[in-house]
């Protein structure tokens, strides 16, 4: 048997295919690959890894993925895509323009709820006055959404009021690990580069290293915001086509705080909130004028998703 070096702790800071970049507690980085299927790691994972035996290159092996506090992922009918693990919150960045898809926003929020991770929404491009006003209006249900917590929506104008926005964002991000998601064009790169100067250079270097030279971008990347390494941002692509096949139809209401708030008033314990008499959700739908009513668009998202998740399950 070949002599192996001791197991070391590390944090996964980038992933690409089977390879990932592992950061040691003293801040050094090494490319690693998993020993087997069970040691497949995602960004944010804490792992035990090992240097290769002498003469067998530089690449380390991941021997064990330590227990996860949470895992944020999406799932379509065939594939599971894991974004990241061990998150404190998820920041969803949308903008006045391009017009955001409410269904996509709702799906990401539902996945966050299902994983037990606090979501936060930011609406960028407040300088585009009229489109911003329309988007802000569409976000009304999300600004007021109750349950155990309020989502809240942060208004931003990243390219115009960078310093003000940095201060506002840091109030929410300080000391936490935050996954940043958003549709293309919302200003995600602008936000990351504002909080992590040099981020784009770093990404280029990491993707070069992980691809041994080939230049492919778009993989999930962890950035430290501060020198003390207490605040982190994770940039991940893949906001589109947010599959929720891992959520059961009957679990859906509990992942939508505005619906969940009324689901306790239903006459039947197994109410689907689609057609039952004495349904608290359906009666809240008729009261859209009250602050805690359920908006027509939110209810449509609920019923469409309920149907989607009730189809053939694999």
Between CA 235 and CA 178 the distance in angstroms is 9
Residue 281: contacted member of Zn ion, ligand GTP, none (CB under 5 to 8 Å, by partner type) = Zn ion
Q: How far is the CB of 124 from ligand GTP (least distance, A)?
A: 5
Beta carbons within 8 Å of 99's beta carbon, 6+ residues apart: 131, 135
Stretch that binds ligand GTP, among 53-61, 80-88, 115-123, 183-191 (CB under 6 A): 183-191
Residue 188 interacts with ligand GTP (CB under 6 A)? Answer: yes
Residue 91 interacts with Zn ion (CB under 5 A)? Answer: no
C-beta of residue 239 within 8 angstroms of C-beta of residue 108: yes
Q: Is 55 annotated as a binding residue?
A: no
Residue 162 interacts with ligand GTP (CB under 6 A)? Answer: no
Residue 125 interacts with ligand GTP (CB under 6 A)? Answer: yes
Stretch that binds ligand GTP, among 39-47, 81-89, 106-114, 177-185 (CB under 6 A): 177-185
Q: Is 266 annotated as a binding residue?
A: yes
Question: Roughly how many angstroms between the first and final C-alpha of the chain, as a whole number?
Answer: 43
Q: Which is nearer to Zn ion, 50 or 303 (CB)?
A: 303
How many other CB atoms sit within 10 Å of the CB of residue 267? 10
C-beta of residue 255 within 8 angstroms of C-beta of residue 301: no
Which residue from 124, 231, 236, 272 is in contact with ligand GTP, where contact means CB under 6 A?
124
Please report the beta strands in 167-235, taking only residues with DSSP state E, as ranges in sequence order: 177-181, 221-224, 232-235
Q: Is the peptide bond before 204 cis (omega within 30 degrees of 0)?
A: no
Residue 187: contacted member of ligand GTP, Zn ion, none (CB under 5 to 8 Å, by partner type) = ligand GTP
Q: Is 182 annotated as a binding residue?
A: yes
Residue 152 interacts with ligand GTP (CB under 6 A)? Answer: no
- Pairing, β 118-124 against β 89-95: parallel
Token code pair at residue 161: 């009021």
Q: Could you list the residues that contact ligand GTP (CB under 6 A)?
A: 124-125, 127-128, 157-160, 182, 184-190
In the annotated binding site for GTP, the residues are 124-127, 182-190
């Amino acid at each position: 048997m070949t002599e192996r070096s001791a197991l070391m702790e590390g944090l996964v800071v980038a992933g690409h295919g089977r390879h990932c970049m592992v950061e040691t507690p003293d801040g050094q980085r090494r490319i690693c690959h998993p020993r087997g299927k069970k040691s497949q790691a995602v960004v944010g994972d804490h792992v035990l890894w090992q240097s290769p035996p002498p003469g067998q290159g530089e690449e380390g092996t991941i021997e064990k993925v330590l227990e996860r506090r949470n895992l944020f992922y999406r799932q379509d009918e065939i594939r599971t895509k894991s974004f990241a693990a061990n998150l404190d919150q998820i920041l969803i960045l949308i903008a006045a323009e391009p017009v955001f898809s409410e269904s996509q926003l709702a799906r990401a929020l539902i996945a966050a709820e299902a994983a037990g991770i606090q979501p936060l929404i930011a609406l960028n491009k407040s300088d585009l006055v009229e489109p911003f006003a329309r988007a802000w209006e569409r976000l009304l249900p999300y600004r007021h959404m109750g349950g155990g917590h309020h989502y809240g929506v942060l208004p931003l104008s990243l390219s115009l009021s960078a310093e003000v926005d940095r201060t506002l964002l840091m109030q929410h991000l300080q000391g936490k690990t935050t996954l940043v998601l958003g549709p293309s064009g919302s200003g995600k790169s602008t936000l990351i580069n504002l909080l992590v100067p040099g981020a784009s250079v770093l990404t280029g270097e990491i993707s070069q290293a992980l691809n041994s030279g080939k230049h492919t971008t778009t993989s999930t990347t962890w950035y430290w915001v501060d020198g003390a390494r207490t605040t982190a941002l994770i940039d991940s692509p893949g906001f589109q086509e947010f599959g929720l096949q891992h959520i059961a139809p009957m679990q859906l209401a509990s992942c939508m705080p505005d619906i969940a708030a009324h689901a306790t008033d239903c006459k039947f314990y197994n109410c689907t909130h689609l057609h039952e008499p004495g349904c608290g959700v359906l009666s809240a739908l008729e009261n859209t004028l009250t602050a805690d009513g359920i908006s027509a668009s939110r209810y449509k998202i609920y019923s469409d998703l309920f149907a989607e998740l009730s189809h053939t399950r694999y």
